[in-house]
Amino acid sequence: MIGKDGWDFVDAQCIETHPAATTDTAVELPREWQVFGPFTPVDTALCEAEKLEATAVLRKLGSIPDELVIGGEPRKAKSMVLAGDTLDFEALFGGRLEGQQAFAFAPLELSQESELTFGAGTEWWMQWWIDGEAVYDSLKKEGGGMWVPTCRDHVFCRRLKAGTHLLAVWLVSTAKGGSLKEQDGWRLKAAIIPQEEALSMSRFPDNWEFLPDTDEIHPPNKSSNHAVAFNVDRCLTDETIECEFRKDHNAGDFGIILGAQDSDQYYYVQIPWHGQLARARGVWAAISKTDGSGYVRNLALQLMPNVPCVGKDWMSLKVQRSGNCIQMWLNGVKGPGVTDTTYGAGRVGIAGFSTFQVRNLRIDGKSVNGPPWPGGDKRVRPWFHIEPDLDLGDVQASVGLCKIDGEILAVVKIGRNTSVASASAEWTTYSYSSRDRGRTWQRRAGSSKGKAGFTPGEGAVIPGFPLQVAPGTIRAWIWNQDTQTIDYSDSTDKAVTWSESTSCMHNGDWRDFREEHDWWGLNWVEKLKDGTMLLTLHCGHSNTYNTIKDKTAMTWPGFHTESWSSLSGDGGMSWSAPRPNDLAASRPDEPGAHPNIDMVEPTVAQLPSGRIVLLARPCASPFMWQTHSDDGGKTWSMACYAPFTGAGYPNLVCTQSGYLVVVKRGPGLTLAISTDGGVNWDHGTMIDHQGAFNGRMVEVEPDVVLVIYPEAMDDKRPAYVRVHLIRITPDGPVPVRPESAGDCVPGDGGA
Better-scored residue on pLDDT, 9 or 55: 9
CA distances from 314 to 212, 269, 310, 508, 685 (A): 18, 17, 9, 55, 27
- 618 with 606: CB under 8 angstroms? no
All domains of the chain in start order, with CATH: 7-11+203-367 (2.60.120.560), 32-193 (2.60.120)
Task: Tell whether the model's pLDDT for residue 256 goes beyond 60.
Answer: yes
Residue predicted with more confidence, 615 or 400 = 615
- Identity at 121, one-letter amino acid code: G
Given a cut of 60, whether residue 276 has pLDDT beyond it is yes
549 pLDDT higher than 60 = yes
Give the integer Cα–Cα distance in Å for 321 and 327. Answer: 6
Write out pLDDT tens, residues 339-359.
999 999 999 999 999 888 999
String of DSSP letters for 375-389: -S-------EES---
457 vs 413, residue with greater confidence: 413
Q: Where are the alpha helices (DSSP H) in 161-202?
A: 195-198
Report pLDDT for 281.
87
What pLDDT does 390 receive? 85
Q: Which residue has the higher pLDDT, 187 or 26?
A: 187
Is residue 393 scored above 90 in pLDDT? no
Q: Which of 172-176, 402-406, 503-507, 731-735 has the lowest mean pLDDT?
A: 172-176
546 falls in which pLDDT band (50, 70, 90)? low
- Between CA 458 and CA 427 the distance in angstroms is 10
What's residue 554's pLDDT? 60
The per-residue pLDDT for 496 is 85
Tell me the C-alpha distance between 724 and 90, whole Å: 42
| pLDDT of the residue at 49 | 61
The winner for highest mean pLDDT among 58-72, 328-342, 456-470, 571-585 is 328-342
Candidates 169, 120, 171, 174; CA nearest to 146 is: 174
Mean pLDDT within 514-539: 93
Cα–Cα distance measured from residue 424 to residue 409, given in angstroms and rounded to the nearest whole number: 26
DSSP, res 576: P
Q: How confident is the model at residue 556 (pLDDT cuts 50, 70, 90)?
A: low
pLDDT above 60: residue 86 = yes
CA–CA dist 590, 583 (Å, integer): 10
For the chain, give the mean pLDDT: 87
pLDDT at 45: 44
Residue type for position 399: V
Would you state the pLDDT for residue 749? 41
CA gap 230, 708 in Å, rounded: 32
Residue-level pLDDT at 139: 64
Strands (E), 462-570: 465-470, 473-480, 485-491, 502-503, 505-506, 519-527, 533-541, 560-568
> Picking from 415-419, 466-470, 536-540, which range would have the lowest pLDDT averaged per residue?
415-419
- Contacting residues for 73 by C-beta, under 8 A, at least 6 apart: 39, 40
Cα separation, 129 vs 166, whole angstroms? 8
**Model confidence pLDDT, tens digit, residues 497-510:** 899 999 999 999 99
Listed residue (709, 620, 684) closest to 278, CA to CA: 620
Nearest-angstrom CA–CA distance, 625 and 608: 22
- What integer is the mean pLDDT of 293-307? 97
Q: Give the model's pLDDT for residue 561.
A: 87
Q: Give the single-character DSSP code of 371.
A: P
Percent with pLDDT over 90 in the chain: 60
Q: 44, 40, 47, 31: which is closest to 80 by C-alpha?
A: 31
**For 154-168, 330-344, 425-439, which range has the lowest pLDDT when averaged over its residues?**
425-439
Contact indicator for 286, 336 with CB cutoff of 8 Å? yes
What lies within 8 Å, CB to CB, of 338 at 6+ separation is 287, 299, 300, 325, 326
For the beta carbon of residue 318, count every other beta carbon within 10 angstroms.
Answer: 19
Residue 22 has pLDDT above 60, yes or no: no
Q: What is the DSSP letter of 184?
A: G
Name the H helices within 175-328: 195-198, 275-280
- Give the CA distances from residue 671 to residues 26, 388, 653, 684, 688, in Å, rounded to whole numbers and listed in that order: 51, 25, 11, 6, 10
SS in 3 state form for 20-87? CCCCCCCCCCCCEEEEEEEECCCCCCHHHHHHCHHHHHHHHCCCCCCEEEECCEEEECEEEECECCEE
Average pLDDT over residues 2-15: 84
pLDDT in tens, 179-217: 444 446 789 999 999 877 877 777 777 789 898 888 999
**Nearest partner of 197 among 211, 185, 182, judged by Cα:** 211
Q: What is the CA radius of gyration of the chain?
A: 27
DSSP letter, residue 406: T
What pLDDT does 717 receive? 74
User: What is the C-alpha separation between 399 and 406, in angstroms, rounded?
Assistant: 19
- pLDDT score of 750 more than 70: no
Residue partners of 96: CB distance under 8 A and separation at least 6: 38, 89, 90, 173, 176, 185, 186
Model confidence pLDDT, tens digit, residues 433-487: 999 999 999 998 766 554 444 333 334 478 899 999 999 999 999 999 999 999 9
Using CA atoms, how far apart are residues 619 and 146, in angstroms rounded to an integer?
Answer: 23
DSSP classification of residue 5:
B
% of the chain exceeding 70 in pLDDT: 85
Is residue 150 within 8 A of residue 46, CB to CB? The reply is no
Q: Which residues contact 154 (CB under 8 A, 6 or more apart)?
A: 119, 120, 121, 126, 136, 138, 141, 145
Cβ pair 420, 439 in contact under 8 A: no
| Residue 195: predicted pLDDT | 78
Q: How much is the pLDDT for 178?
A: 45
Out of 254-268, 430-444, 646-660, 730-744, least confident range:
730-744
Q: Give 492 or 449, the one with higher predicted confidence.
A: 492
